[in-house]
Structure 1
């Protein structure tokens, strides 16, 4: 069951809500956040709202009305059924012309919640396309997601649930909807933001919590070929995202791989810390 809030009140999930000329529909001019729902609350809501504002500013939009969004989140979660596991906030540039130019500042705001389960393990595949670390929207969580849709569709041909991308410099970057950590030589390494990857909330919390707990996790530039080591068993990897938390890779490019000891330790650490504070 999906619960939807739009323009100040709850709506039927099948009700037409967004106009045909909304810039989010015509050119993908918008930003969004997806977060885990646990015990009836949105996990790390404050951090997600801060990133939503950063993404909007990066697109040249006005910062979204945080109080309005929080009201929408509260309204949705107040009636959400127990199986609700995911909440999404979408903000678009609102009505606009049939082209890339904007002619107003009336934003469209929509909050929706529905079922989801956390992936305890992940299966990934490499794809031939790259992430452009010099893109105008690099590091922003925008609704222009067609590139990710195409890459993920290709990865599913290997039985994968995520696609892994290099950047234009041949460095390991990220997944279509996740960050990656590689376990090698007694450390967990994750690409720096300069690689063009999204500043993932789960990634951010793992770096903070690992530092406090003494788990060796740090940023490091890695060649895309490090994934060869994962396939050959010389390294391990895990994906991080709001609907995965920390999810060790158990297959890469259609080949089964073992979950690493540090990846499993990071998964356990994240689950414990998440249970202690739902808005860290």
Structure 2
């Protein structure tokens, strides 16, 4: 790994239009991450759109500056190996700044065990990735301690919201189902890509807000930018049985075919990725 930027942190100097070495920030207000595998990425314009919207909502730099930074950040990621870079809106000396954290990707998972968090979802801004980072990290730690991989967030009525780092989709027969988009859910890039694939192939899509029990025996996926599709194989603290993951292999192939060189992704319009997505 000699000479490679392992866990390198950089800050955006807008006046010079360049990334400079930086120390770890004290406070991260917003963030976004994506998987970069040998120079290819999925849905990068959607990540730019989501991060720019978060920055705007939190009083950060304007969208053109954020987009310029994000493009420079994506171009800085190595084109060999597997990486999980993170862009951040951080507080530095009383001002908001843009940072890039270049880090190796962790081992990618093939399946996931869910642990249902106790009580309703208490995040303050579920729609902004990074605002509730500490709360979500604590929930995931509890899930790991319980022998699971991911915390499942429920609302006050016990209905599924999303995972601590994932969005949920499931199959009822030939219908691909997912909760509707609301301010209580993060706009998942991987979920959008999958719904776009489904729409393009004529697969029926339904929006539901079930309890975990209503998913008993179904094929359920927990999806995110890092791992892609991970079928749920266990509901650790619930009386719910996991269904067989019969569709996951084929849909992983569909998702994988959306990967493209970062340089090409940066020249692709966001609308091209989201044309069929909700």
TM bin (shorter chain) = 0.7 to 0.9
Alignment of 1:204-243 (within 5 A): 204-227=192-215, 229=216, 234-243=217-226
| Count of residue pairs the alignment pairs up | 250
TM-score calculated relative to the size of structure 1:
0.78
- The aligned counterpart of 1:273 is 258
Residues in 2 aligned to 1:173 and 1:107: alpha-carbon distance in whole angstroms: 30
Cα root mean square deviation, aligned: 2.7
Partners of 2:171 and 2:219 within 8 A in 1: yes
Residues in 1 aligned to 2:203 and 2:183: alpha-carbon distance in whole angstroms: 23
Residues in 2 aligned to 1:256 and 1:83: alpha-carbon distance in whole angstroms: 37
Runs of 4+ in 1 over 4 A off after TM superposition: 275-278
User: Structure 1 residue 42: deviation in Å?
Assistant: 4.1
- The aligned counterpart of 2:174 is 186
Would you say 1:175 and 2:163 are equivalent positions?
yes
Residues in 2 aligned to 1:153 and 1:114: alpha-carbon distance in whole angstroms: 21
Partners of 2:42 and 2:260 within 8 A in 1: no
Partners of 2:159 and 2:210 within 8 A in 1: yes
Alpha-carbon distance change, 92 to 251 in structure 1, aligned in 2, over 3 angstroms? same
User: Structure 1 residue 17: deviation in Å?
Assistant: 4.9
Residues in 2 aligned to 1:226 and 1:143: alpha-carbon distance in whole angstroms: 30
Gaps of 5+ in 1: 97-105
Partners of 2:219 and 2:244 within 8 A in 1: yes
Counterpart of 1:111 (choices 100, 109, 113) is 100
| SS of corresponding position for 1:120 | coil
Would you say 1:252 and 2:259 are equivalent positions?
no
| SS of corresponding position for 2:211 | coil
Alpha-carbon distance change, 143 to 83 in structure 1, aligned in 2, over 3 angstroms? farther
Counterpart of 2:23 (choices 16, 21, 28) is 16
| SS of corresponding position for 1:273 | coil
Residues in 2 aligned to 1:250 and 1:262: alpha-carbon distance in whole angstroms: 14
Gaps of 5+ in 2: 1-5, 13-17, 266-272, 274-278
User: Structure 1 residue 165: deviation in Å?
Assistant: 0.9
- The aligned counterpart of 2:185 is 197
- The aligned counterpart of 1:102 is none
Alpha-carbon distance change, 129 to 151 in structure 1, aligned in 2, over 3 angstroms? farther
- The aligned counterpart of 2:43 is 44
- The aligned counterpart of 2:247 is 262
Alpha-carbon distance change, 10 to 73 in structure 1, aligned in 2, over 3 angstroms? farther
Alpha-carbon distance change, 170 to 31 in structure 1, aligned in 2, over 3 angstroms? same
Counterpart of 2:93 (choices 92, 95, 117) is 95
Residues in 1 aligned to 2:40 and 2:20: alpha-carbon distance in whole angstroms: 17
Partners of 2:126 and 2:183 within 8 A in 1: no
Alignment of 1:23-172 (within 5 A): 25=27, 28=28, 30-64=29-63, 65=65, 66-74=67-75, 76-77=76-77, 80=78, 82-96=80-94, 106-116=95-105, 117-132=107-122, 137-172=125-160
User: Structure 1 residue 211: deviation in Å?
Assistant: 0.8
Residues in 1 aligned to 2:259 and 2:178: alpha-carbon distance in whole angstroms: 20
| SS of corresponding position for 1:131 | coil
